[in-house]
Chains A and B, each alone.
Chain A
């Protein structure tokens, strides 16, 4: 069984109750990603401007609450965010992230000890989060076997493609 792996990156720290509306505003929701890009998490405009592939998001409670729009985790994934660690997640956001194979872990205690710019190393299989600035290691809730299987497959579409045999230009993001 292949591993989900380790992601390492610098942190963008957010608070509680960040809604999917601000990750994917309705006004640009049907536009191509390049036109949505600058609006992702628009309450903090420097995020979309300065985020680098591999960066991590750390958040408080209820990250991704609100609308079922899948563009919310998708936008973060397309911006190259390596993983999101939060005290808790909105449930539809969390399922959507699994469906598109974008790592998000529930990590109790993460919001208090981490700040902008910290460097974290996240072991997605062991569900450990190592803060390289403070030396602290936190335990996240590991994915269940069922969730991990979907993520390892590259998302639900990849699961379907294997089952139904379609093979015409799947996006790179689904292949990981």
Chain B
């Protein structure tokens, strides 16, 4: 899939792994980094963007502004959006990746670059999304182009059956645990197999998102009928399925059998430090966090609500819930999930990145332990450098919120989203 995308966007008939190409991304996603890009553009004498219509701007990392400095930065960002003629401004709609996918701003087969490492998320709808830094985005904004080395592709075959309390997050954690967080370093991942075919777009987003934690440049699911239907519902006409060419060759193939898989967690302080949750059951937690572009979608709210129905959040625990987007928030309100969660003692915050990168709306103090549905748990990620983060699925997070400690979520919920 990656080769097809890079061939089309670089104007070639075909490309092979290892080749260098200069490609024109279809979508350029900038969050607050836009202001830094603008400063660089000014310094190098660029006043106009090559393709303002391809640029999408989302303010999410510091939203709603937690400091006067962040507010000032947002004022500047809004002014820049006007100045550059950027019409795709999703100012306050939620976390960038969620917003672009749920508004069908990203299509199958497109090349997407974003100033965010989890831009791999766009692979959930069959696009090739890669995270880049500020200087590279400045270059891409100015020229409409960027260099790419065509990555080799690792095929990840998902087979087996669902099990109690099993979610897409457990699968991607299990992959990181078994194969390491650099299993797909510099490579593209292509997910496939019956479990991938049956998986919801929400689950695919979780897995593609954490392609970044497997080292991948792109992490793609083929765009199938389910993708087409999702994007049509999101308002996009003329969407076609997109996948690998028949007989595509892979640098490596990995199979993950989900049958009998236990819910997993990544323990402090590394996304690859993965164990079945049963092995760390009993670890006391001070905060449970359901949020981020990894796991704060409607499906995740539904699971948390199922776990918390008729139960209460443990008195020691702050259960902070940050919807991935305003649309998710509204859908969760309408479905009654928000009432269930608040009744149980959860705190719902404004949608956005919130506490995920250690920003605001629920940081950790010294000695505190958080169980989180996010994607990273390095030292100090969510606050004090003396805090620690366990990462698991929404089921793991919600179950720990009830128990006050890590427990096997199968004790409280036997459904599955696979």
Contacts and interface: CB of A to CB of B under 8 A. Distances in A.
Given A156-B138, A157-B40, A21 B215 contact: no
A167 B69 contact: no
Contacts of B379: 19, 21-22, 42-43
B20 interface: yes
Interface stretch (B101-109, B181-189, B245-253, B395-403): B181-189
B224 interface: no
B368 interface: no
B46 A166 contact: yes
Contact of A61 (B136, B142, B182): B182
A100 B132 CA distance: 13
A95 B132 contact: yes
A165 B193 CA distance: 51
B265 to A, nearest CB: 17
A170 to B, nearest CB: 6
Contact of B147 (A17, A92, A146): A146
Contacts of A66: 117, 376, 378
Interface in B354-386: 357-359, 376, 378-381, 385
B270 A156 contact: no
B45 A167 contact: yes
A69 to B, nearest CB: 7
Nearest to B375: A66
Given A26-B359, A27-B380, A68-B115, 6 more contacts: A21-B380, A30-B69, A61-B182, A67-B376, A88-B185, A160-B44
A136 to B, nearest CB: 25
A65 B214 CA distance: 10
A169 B182 contact: no
Nearest to A160: B44
B133 A68 contact: yes
B217 interface: yes
**Which of B70, B117, B135 has most chain A Cβ within 10 Å?**
B135
A75 interface: no
Interface string A150-163: 00000111011101
Per DSSP, chain B at the interface is loop
A90 interface: yes
Interface string A64-95: 01111110000000000000000010111001
Nearest to B149: A144
Contact of A166 (B43, B115, B185, B380): B43
B184 to A, nearest CB: 10
A156 B378 contact: no
Interface string B48-88: 00000000000000000000011001000000000000000
A65 B181 contact: yes
B135 A17 contact: no
Given A62-B182, A92-B132, A157-B135, A168 B217 contact: no
Contacts, number: 121
A161 B133 contact: no
Nearest to B42: A166
Given A19-B378, A67-B357, A88-B185, A96 B136 contact: yes
Interface in A101-160: 144, 146, 155-157, 159-160
Given A62-B185, A144-B20, A42 B380 contact: yes
Nearest to B22: A146
Contacts of B46: 160, 164, 166
B348 interface: no
B95 to A, nearest CB: 14
A165 B272 CA distance: 46
Interface string B178-219: 000110011000000000000000000000000000010100
Given A88-B182, A157-B44, A161-B45, A70 B376 contact: no
Given A26-B357, A146-B20, A17 B138 contact: no
A30 B62 CA distance: 11
A99 interface: yes
Interface of A: 17, 19, 21-22, 25-27, 30, 42-43, 61-62, 65-70, 88, 90-92, 95-96, 99-100, 144, 146, 155-157, 159-161, 163-170
A169 B308 CA distance: 58
Contacts of A169: 43
A58 B349 CA distance: 42
Contact of B270 (A17, A96, A168): A17
B343 interface: no
Given A22-B379, A68-B117, A166-B46, A99 B135 contact: yes
Nearest to A159: B139
23 contacts: A17-B272, A21-B379, A21-B380, A22-B380, A25-B358, A25-B385, A26-B359, A27-B358, A42-B385, A61-B182, A62-B182, A62-B215, A69-B133, A95-B136, A96-B133, A96-B135, A96-B136, A146-B147, A157-B43, A161-B45, A164-B46, A166-B43, A168-B45
Nearest to B380: A25
A65 B359 CA distance: 20
B69 A99 contact: no
Contact of A92 (B42, B45, B117): B117
Contacts of B40: 157
A80 B374 CA distance: 34
